[in-house]
Amino acid sequence: MADALPAVGVPAEQILAELRELRGHDLPTHGGRLFAYVYDSGRTGLDELVASANALCAHVNGLDPTVFPSLSTMERELVAAAARLLGGDPDTVGNVTGGGTESLILAVKTARDARPDIAQPRLVLPASGHAAFGKAASYLRVALDVVPIDPVTLRPSAADMAAAIGPDTVLVAASAPAYPYGLMDPVADIAAAALAAGVRCHVDACFGGWSLPYLRRLGQPVPPFDLSVPGVTSISVDLHKYAYASKGVSVLLHRSAPMRRPQYFAWAGWPGYTVVNPGISSTRPGGPIAGAYATLRHIGDAGYLELARATRDAVRDLAAAVSTVDGLRLMAEPETTVVCFTSTDPWLDVFVLADELAARGWYTQAQLAFAGLPGSIHLSVTASVAPQVAQFPAALAAAAAAARAAGPPRVPAHLLDLAGTLAPEQLTPELVARIATELGLVGTGRAGPAMAAVNTLLCAAPVPVRERLLVEFGSLLQSPAAHPAGAPAAAQPVVQPAGQPAAAGG
């Protein structure tokens, strides 16, 4: 890998060649076979438009709306479009943020700071709510009241959510839909309970906010979930998901300007420039916002309806393909744009299956077993998947056969024991480095880690140990020593040899 700061600058063509080489190690962002991380409309010409729009505004700074009114204008239009889609009215206000996590952190901060009278503010969150709420709670020192999801419906009951609301609750969260299985929370009932208790309710529509209105227009049953629902006080939608904008753009809407006010941070207590920020960052890049604006204007309302139609059909066909494979079971009938399935056969391990699918060019997302729910394979389906769908059933059948033949991942028993018995604080960096090496996460010289083994190990560990392992693995992977040869970690998973069924596995 090349030095980021060479003694003497390098010609542009060479740098672009290096970048292309680096990108060659990534999973393909386009082509409809990567079912997480990327949202691809499949529309030709969109990337070029976004690149040009981005370039026009790359040096524009959202720090001060009076200096670059171009950005303020685009942000206002993005907010207005989101409000129109999501049941807003003339009182609705909003801001563009850098992503779903920032939107959720700000929603929690706004609700917390609206109640300075509460010493230890609390957030009521369904267990299926996005990890970003956990991050917000952690960053903002808000206590979490996690409401389990029903093992059959896989969503929280409104009654349980209502019962969890207490005098210190500053916010109740609901998802539309929740990411893991793509299922809608009972938003109207949850919001009614929050309203009755005089507590704010945020709807996390980061994932679904831009597809649900269109799916509804296509005739799909979509329960009420947006600002038209009494009691919903704020809602977030990521433009870099189903609005198909490039990365770094989400919108957070509030029912009214007074409700939004605690979101802002202003600072005049220093001799420098005055600061007023609606979000976490101060300097904010104009490029992604211009890219999102260009994307919305180029696709247009009619375009989004067609993209939702293609997505809906792809979801239907993918789910049908899963249902035909012996030993696989849909976690739930798809309600939105997610297909999620698990295995009912101990010899057909879902994590091995995910690796086998990857080996065939289909990149899915593994979800760990959690609170009695089995490990699963998640597919976030986008419009670009549609032309690929016909080839999925054969690939899935072949991958399932190969996974069954391979058996569950072979993870050394002593590692499973360690994961199951050690306390998080006993996992020293040295020990985790040894575990990571044994699992092939680092230092094996192989093309990449066998994710099935890593996921099986994580499944064997209680949640605090999982989190500790994740932190140490993340830290290892992001330290220069993990890539001694200077080679980027390739994203291609390697299939593990056969093993015994692991009780804790998928």
Residues interacting with ligand PLP, by CB under 6 A? 99-101, 104, 130, 132, 175, 179, 204, 206-207, 238
C-alpha to C-alpha distances, 16 to 12, 21, 28, 53, 213, nearest whole angstrom? 6, 9, 18, 20, 40
Q: Least CB distance from residue 309 to ligand PLP, whole Å?
A: 22
Sheet (strand 338-343) strand order? 328-330, 338-343, 376-380, 365-367
- Fill in the DSSP letter of residue 387: G
Which CB sits closer to ligand PLP, 366 or 418?
Answer: 366
Q: Least CB distance from residue 308 to ligand PLP, whole Å?
A: 17
Which CB sits closer to ligand PLP, 100 or 286?
Answer: 100
| CA–centroid distance for 407 within its chain | 30
In this chain, which residue has its C-beta nearest to ligand PLP?
A: 100
- Fill in the DSSP letter of residue 61: B
C-alpha to C-alpha distances, 296 to 9, 284, 397, nearest whole angstrom? 37, 20, 38
Torsion of CA 447, 452, 453, 457, to 10 degrees: 140
The DSSP line for 110-162 is: HHHHT-TT-SS-EEEEETTS-HHHHHHHHHHT-EEEEEPPPTTT-S--HHHHH
Q: Which residues pair with 251 in a beta bridge?
A: 96, 237
**Token pair belonging to 427:** 């996992």
Q: Least CB distance from residue 240 to ligand PLP, whole Å?
A: 6
Which CB sits closer to ligand PLP, 206 or 331?
Answer: 206
Query: 3-state secondary structure string, 243-305?
Result: CCCCCCCEEEEECCHHHHHHHCEEECCCCCCCEEECCCCCCCEHHHHHHHHHHHHHHHHHHHH
CA 479 to CA 274: how far, in whole Å?
Answer: 37
Q: Least CB distance from residue 36 to ligand PLP, whole Å?
A: 8
Q: Least CB distance from residue 149 to ligand PLP, whole Å?
A: 14
Which CB sits closer to ligand PLP, 78 or 206?
Answer: 206
Which CB sits closer to ligand PLP, 34 or 328?
Answer: 34
Q: Least CB distance from residue 263 to ligand PLP, whole Å?
A: 17
Which CB sits closer to ligand PLP, 176 or 350?
Answer: 176
Which CB sits closer to ligand PLP, 243 or 383?
Answer: 243
**Token pair belonging to 412:** 């050394």
Q: Least CB distance from residue 87 to ligand PLP, whole Å?
A: 18
Q: Least CB distance from residue 175 to ligand PLP, whole Å?
A: 5
Q: Least CB distance from residue 133 to ligand PLP, whole Å?
A: 8
The DSSP line for 340-386 is: EEEES-TTS-HHHHHHHHHHTT-B-EEE--BTTBPPEEEEE--GGGG
Nearest to 405 by CA among 489, 495, 314, 335: 495
CA atoms within 13 A on the CB side of 145: 21
Which CB sits closer to ligand PLP, 206 or 459?
Answer: 206
Could you tell me if 420 and 426 are in contact, meaning their C-beta atoms sit under 8 angstroms apart? no
Which CB sits closer to ligand PLP, 288 or 449?
Answer: 288
Q: Which residues pair with 365 in a beta bridge?
A: 378
Q: Least CB distance from residue 102 to ligand PLP, whole Å?
A: 7
Which CB sits closer to ligand PLP, 131 or 268?
Answer: 131
